[in-house]
Chain A
C-alpha cells in the first residue's frame, strides 16, 4: 500500500524563501561583482600585518622622520627639504607606484601610507558596520513603537528624536574628548577607555537614528492602515503578533534599502569626528584619520587625502550595489504574493 496521495505526486515541493532569494542573488552579476570587491577589500585589510612586514618593511605606527629609503639606486630621505631657492618646507617622499616601501608615499610622520590604508580599513569598516547596526536596530525599535502605538508613545519618542537631531554633536564630541583624556570613564559594569572604539561606534550609531526612524515611523503608520493589518486587528490578533508577522518584515525591507546608505554616512561621519580626536587614537589609523592627515598635505602630496577618499567611494559603491541586489532578491512583495 503506497503512502503517496494523489496530491503529492503532482508537483515537487517549492523551494524555501531563502533558497529562492539566494538563487536570485547569485544570478545578479553586479551584486556578485560587488560582493567580490568587498571580499577583496576585507582580505586586503586582514593582510595588513603581512604587508607591513614583507612589502613595506616599515612599522606604520612609528614615526620615521629621519629615515631613508633606496629608490632607483639612490638613497633618499623619507622627509626631505623641498627644492626651492629658500629651502623652505619639507616634503614627504612621493608614491613609487610599485609594490614595495612607500608605494603610496609617506605622510608627514614618514609612515608608509599604503600600510596605514590597510590597517585603517580594518578600523573604518568595523566602526561603520557596527554603528550602522546600532543605528538600524534603534531606529527600527523607535520607529515601530512610535508608528504603531501612536498617542503618548509617539509623542514621547518624537520629542526625543527631535531633540537628538537638533543636538550639537560636535560639542558633545569636544567635551567628551577632553573629559576622557587620560582616564576614560568607569560605568561600573564596563570601562570606557579613551581609545576604546565603542565610543565612536555609539556616538555615530545614535546620531543617525532620527534620520531612519522617521521614515520607518511613517511607513508603520501607513501599514497600520492597510487592509491585512486591519483584518488582523479585527480578528483579535495580539499586538506582538501583528508587529512580528506583518509590520516587521516590511520594516526590514525598508531598512535593507537604508542600510548601505547609513554605512556610507557612518564612514563619512567617522572621518569628520576623527578631526576632533574621538575614536581612533594616534598612532592607530582609520580612513578618516588618514584623510585628516592628508588635508594638511593636499598641495604637496594629494595622494594621502585622495587614497582613503577613493577607498571609501569604492566600498560604499560595492555595499550599495550589493544592497540593491539583496533587496531585489528578498523582495517581500514577492513573498506575500506567493
Chain B
C-alpha cells in the first residue's frame, strides 16, 4: 500500500492536501484538470517537494519514506521530456541509473545491454539522444527505470509528446514491463483512454485534493460534476 497521511504543501498561492491509499503492484492513473495537483502528488512521493506539516507521513508498505532524500527513495521518475542527458550516449544514460560515476563492472554493463534489449533498442547504445525519435528517447528512459530496479515507477505524462501510434506502443511496453518486474506504476495522464487501457485504479484530483478514487471502469460512468466537467460531458 502507498499511503499518504495528511500530506499538505503549498506552491505559490495554491494549497494541496493529500490523504490517500493505493494498492501496490497495480497501474494507477492519476487524473484531473491542469494545475489540479497531479504532478505535485508525484513530486511529493519522489521527494522533489517536501510536505509542509510535521504530521505528514508517506509510507510505502511499512517503510516511511518522507524523510528520505530523493536518491534514497525506492522510486524512479519519468517526465514528459528531458529524461536524458543530451550530450551522453544512450548507454551512458542508462549506466547513470546504476552508478552516477559511470564506472560499471562487466556484469553491470551486461545489465544495461539487457535493459536496452527489453525496451527494443538493442544495438543503439552508442547513439546520442538527438539521433533518436521521441518515442525511442522515452524508451531509453524506461530502460533506465529497469536497471534502477526500484519497485515504484512514477510516470508524469510520459506519452503526451508522442503520436497516437507511438503512444499505443509505449503503453503496451509499460504494461508488459510492469507485469514482468512486478512494478507499481503511478501514471499522470490527460487521456481517459490511457487510464482505461493501462490502469486498474483511477485517482481523480481536483483543487489540490483527492476527489474520487475507484476502478477505472467506473470512472467514465461517474455522475460527479467535477469529473463530468473534466471529461467534457454535460450533466
Partners in one complex: no
B residues adjacent to A (C-beta < 8 A): none
A residues adjacent to B (C-beta < 8 A): none
